Amino acid sequence: MIESGPMKIFEILSTYRSAFASGLFTTLKLSAVIWMTGLILGALIGVVGRRWPKAVGAPAKSASFVMGSVPVLVFLFWLHFPLAELGLRMPPFWSASIALSIVNVLGVADIVRHALD
């Protein structure tokens, strides 16, 4: 008897294993880019912002405050689509990397700056 119903989970994984593997690889690449930029630039901005609070600290706090009130997906759309309309087309991977890295850098900078207080 042939079973005609919803696919079982293992059938789905078996059928679409190459798509899952590709998605996992892209996610790991994106995470590596975001983590590295967040740790390096965020720590640098946090330390420098603590050392020079008016020149670097205040703008970093302001940017962090603004970014904290904007949903990440909205920021990603703001970065990707208006730039494409202006003729600056970048691959989705890099627009996601830049948007999520900015959010991560500002978050790490806040953590480092408060840890040094």
Radius of gyration of the chain measured on its C-alpha atoms: 20
d(CA 92, CA 44): 27
Residue 26's nearest CA partner among 113, 74, 91 is 91
What average pLDDT does the segment 86-110 reach? 93
pLDDT confidence of residue 1: 45
Contact 109, 42 (CB under 8 A): yes
Q: What is the DSSP letter of 86?
A: T
Q: Is residue 99 in some structural domain?
A: yes
Q: Is residue 3 in some structural domain?
A: no
pLDDT at 2 over 70: no
What average pLDDT does the segment 31-41 reach? 97
Residues spanned by the domain of 77:
28-116
pLDDT tens digits along 47-92: 999 999 999 989 999 999 998 899 999 999 988 888 888 888 889 9
The number of domains in the chain is: 1
pLDDT confidence of residue 3: 55
What average pLDDT does the segment 43-48 reach? 95
